[in-house]
Structure formats: C-alpha cells, structure tokens
Structure 1
C-alpha cells in the first residue's frame, strides 16, 4: 500500500477536501491528479505518489485535511485490482447511533445524526435547520455534502408559499450568511497572529512625486517588455533596500531563535472582492531589477484575479505588503502580521496635500502627492529604533528615485 498524504508545504494553513477526481478501483499513473484540496489561499491538486489502484479514501469531501494526514491509499496495480471498500464513515455510524437513541426523543436523534458529518455540513445543517435524515447524500458512500444541503434549501424555497411583502419593524431584519471556507481560514489566521505577537505600528508620510515622474517616462517602455509598471513595483524594490538597514525585519520568530533570511521574499496582498484576498510572493527581490519586479508582479496579480495561482506562488514569504489605500483608506492599524513573519508594510491612499517645504532656506507652500506608510512589527523581534530606521530608509528610496534610474 502507498499512502496519499496531504502536502506538508502549506505554512500552517488548514485544508479542506474539495473533491476526489478518482473513485475507488480506478487505475492511476504516477502524478495523476487524485484529489482537490482547498485552503484559505488556493485550490490545489494532490497527485498520485505512485502508480496503482485507488483502494481507500480516508478523508472525503468537506473533511479537514491537516498537513501530513492520510487522504487515501493506493494498492499495487499488478494485483487482482479488487477495490477495497472504505471504512464505514462517521456519518453512517452517527445515523445508526441516532436511530438507537430515538427513544430519548427526536432532538437527541437529530443531534447524533448531525454530529457525524463534516464540519462544513454540520454548520450548514445547524444554520438551515434541515433534517439530515430526510436527505440523500451524493458523496462517497452516500455521505452528505454541503451541496446536498444547499440543494435542499433551494428546493424548500421553490415550494414554499410566497412570503407577504416585508413590513417595517422596529427590531429590524437579520440576514444570516454562512461563512465560506476562505473567510473562516482568514479569521483563524488573523486571530492567531494577534494572539501570539504583540503588534506595534509606526507611521511615516511619503512623497510619491519622484516615482510618479519615473513611471510617466518609462511606463510605455516597460509595457513593450511585457510588464505593467505599477507603484507596487517601486514599493517592493524600496522594501528590499530598507532591509539592509534593519535585517531583522526580514525574519521569523520561533520560541528558541530568530531566523533572519538572506532572501527577501515579499508577499503582496491581492484583493478578490467579497471572497477575501490572496498573497502571492515575489521571490528573491534582492536579485531583481525594477523591470524584473514589475514582470513578476504582472504575472502573479493577473493569475490571482483569474484563480490560477498555484501553492508554490504563495509559499516562502518573509515579509508582506498590504496596499490598503487602493480601496480608499488613508491609514489602517494594526495591519495584522502574516505569521510567522515579523512585520508587514501598509500603504495608504495616495492623494494631493498641501505641505510646507524648505527651498533655498525659505519656507514654501507646495501641493505634493503624499500617502501614509506604516510598518507594523512583532515587538518580540524588533524595537522602535529598527522600525523607524527601516521606514526612514524606505521613504528615502521612494522620494529620491532617479528619473532615469
């Protein structure tokens, strides 16, 4: 037998079994896609680790899949090929137990039946009030899936009598919306971060005039080279320069040590509308030119918005940028650190502001394109001195970008 394992390279994120692409008894070759897993970041396919016959499915649709867990097993294709039936699922056991407990009342029986399903199905049954014993499961071995519950809810809505027009009420209306998997995973990660890391935020103001001038002069040339020259490319480049002043910002905290990385791998938060966000990573930024950064960003953000990122695109980040200003906010605090990283940069909305500047020893009033940039740090890792030193260098690089550099 060969075990089919959940990949270890998930950086602590939880995965859910989305669907099996093969059924028990199917003959597979090495690297054939077997099962889809869904995390808070991407959907990934788990390939067959060996050639053989799929003989067992241990984690089915909607089951949680932790790194290293056994998803199923492959047998030797050279044998008689007889399929091994999966063990009775927890849902079947719970239903049988519920029948035995009917004497205790319908509430006990229903609770027992609900308890045996996957977390996603349990949430859906609780939120909708659907009786699981009235449904026919379409999952492996007759198991209920979230889609089965959703179809039952839609069917009830079709046969239900039309509701009267809503009437104003002093209590107001409440609309319950079940959490999707990505939102739940994001919530768990955010709670974990603020629970274990003391967040402190420093804020500087940054003038984007120099990079705006550079972009205006070179944008068309970059497009000819296949790159969209965005402000984010300059921000990524400036982050790499600032790491030279405070290398500990590019690190990960562990209970017994601090790992400071030579490679600067910068994750860039990319919003997906109401579906949350993903954070593709630009690797080894210290070795890339501005053109190289722009090309990599163009590729990653384009695939992020079309759902074509791979797990490898999201892996290995040592620092993160949150460009929250694109949706209009001037400042956000704290921007929560992506654990186990040590810091995250926030970039606010770029807008024209009136400022006083010294020109030839005289104060002048100018209109400049400014935004707030913030660095939120894990205070276990660095203090205010390193934080402010990092931001000072970051602002210096942005504000003094040579027009032909």
Structure 2
C-alpha cells in the first residue's frame, strides 16, 4: 500500500490529465447519444402511432424527463461529494439501459413517459457527474474549455443521433430501428465507465487547499441548504446563471417537443425534419468548442448575455418562418446562441463555488436549469393548445429576451483573471 508520503501528487489541468479527461469526453458523448435517440422520432411517434392530438398530452414525456432530471441533478451533486464521482456515474448508466427497450416495446404512451423518467435519472446522474469530474481535473483557469469540450461532445452526439434516427425511421419505420442505436450507446457507456474511468474527487480536494474564493464569506464547507439558497437567489452570479440556464432549457424543451410537429405541418419530409432536429444541437455542440475557451479569455458575462439575446432572436425567426431554408438559418442562430451560454454558465458556477461544495452547487444549478424542460413542456403545451405552436414560440422568445436582460443587470464577471 502506498503511504501518504510516497503517494504521487495530484496535478490539475487538462494537459496534465489528458487521458482521463479525453475518456470522460467520450463517455459524455454516449450520454448525449442516449438522449438524442428521441429528438426526431418521439414527437412523431406520439402523433402517428399513439394518436395524441393535444400538444400538452404529447409533451408529457418531456415534462417527465425534465422534472426527473432536475431533481436527480441535485442529488447527483450531493452523492458525488459523499460517495465519490464514479459510483454515481455507474448508477446513471445502469438506469439508462432499459430506456430504449421500453420505447421499443411500449404498448401505450404511459410506457414512453415511464421510459423518460428513467432517462431523466440517467442524464441527471451521468451527465452531471461527467461535468463535475471534468471541473475537478481542469483546475481553475481552463474551466471554459473543459465545459466547452464536455458539452460539445454531448450535444454533437445528440445531433448525430437525431440525424441518424431520422434516416433510420425513414428507411425502417419509427420502431424499433432508431432505438437500437441508443441501446448500443448505453452498453458501451456502462463498460467504459466501469473499467476505465477513474475517480476524481482527490483533484477537487487538492484545488480546495489553494482555492481563492470570490467572496470570503462563502469560503469552505457549507450546508446543502445554504448552497441551495446561494445558487437559487442569494449570490448574484450563481442566481443569474440559474435563471438563464432554466430559460435556456425551456427553449430546448420547446425545440425538442414542438419543432418537429411545426415542421411536419409545413409539409417537410422526415429526412428534412431530422436534418433540422440535428442542425440546432450540431451548431450548439461545435460552437461550444469555441465559446468555452473564449470565455476563459474574455470573461463569462458577455457570452451569457449575448447568447440569451441571440436565442430570443432565433426563436422569433422560427415563429415567423415557413420554409426549410429559413428554418435552417434560425436553427444555426439558435445553436450559436445556446453554444455561447451553455458551457459558460457551468464555468461561472465553477468559478464562484468553493471546491468543498462545488459538486452540490453544480447539482443545484442543474436542478434549476433542467427544470426548464418541465416548465417548457407545460408552458409550450398549454399555449400551443390554446393559440397554436407559433404563439408558443413567440411567448418563449419573449421570456428568453427578458432572461438575457436580467443577466446583464445582475450578474458580475466571475472568471478569476477577469475579476
């Protein structure tokens, strides 16, 4: 057994931990792929096989997913601090394996909703943990790059899988072919996590020893209730990140649940719908590779504010458009706006939260952020049932613009070198 005196020193930084960091990027791509299996096919499955005509009813699977993922995110952070990161990651993969099988065999819409409860737990545990582990490894100065690579891998996998499942559905039907891809992702993710991923909690402890807190009053260990209050409303930067993240995922819930139906009513083919469903997360994924490290250089706040306002403009464009070409342009703008925000918000949380309670802060932030899926499903479904899909898109566009203005007014710059 290695004594403390001879144990190798824990080193921080992406370059110093390139192999385990790269493996976690690959694992998160598989997490994203499991989510991506639904983006193109499930809204059409609701309409064509289960004959759900009310938008609110059709979006119940997004409500189930978002609510479950939001709650699981909170516990993922707490459990990662208490039991370590790797056990939480493994639990996420074990829970994800039944999801594609339940969708393939579903005799009723209730099975789809139940599958999305499990998918929410899977994403809450597995995606949250890969975020926390990369923040552990990257250290304080390259969090933007770390989060850019993490979220890029996840959402490029969402995009690629959305495109692939659209093609599979067009060639082989809505079930089972598209969901066999998700089953392969789950098996591979579990195997890699079990046999190759290493624990990273010691990296967080090493950083805690030299951490410079934004606010000395928030230094050191805090109770979970205190952390929840800071991230939810007390601490200006953390609370601003939480509200912007929630509105961002409200947008994504709208895009996931209603955009394929909007495109279908305009007469687009399955292949075109799949291409649009893939384009937005593809730009989102690729853009994060640029915006994440840019926030390390120029600061977090400019990208958060500009990204929210760009999303608002893109959503307004979706509501006003009626052709494949126009929707292609708005999908690109929506992806760019989301890419500017997504890794930057996570990096801002990592900047402000002390390493001793950072995993729980990430969990609370992701609770609010992914709660946006549930809020978006309810809001978009009700407005769409009352006034149509386009009206729902206009409402969400307005909320997104307000969110950007709130972040501009309340948030301060969080990057250690830019403060």
Instruction: Tell me whether the two structures share a fold, i.e. TM-score over 0.5.
Output: no
Compare CA radii of gyration and give the structure with the larger one.
1
- The structure with the greater share of residues assigned to helix is 2
Normalised by the size of structure 2, how large is the TM-score?
0.22
- The structure with the greater share of residues assigned to strand is 1
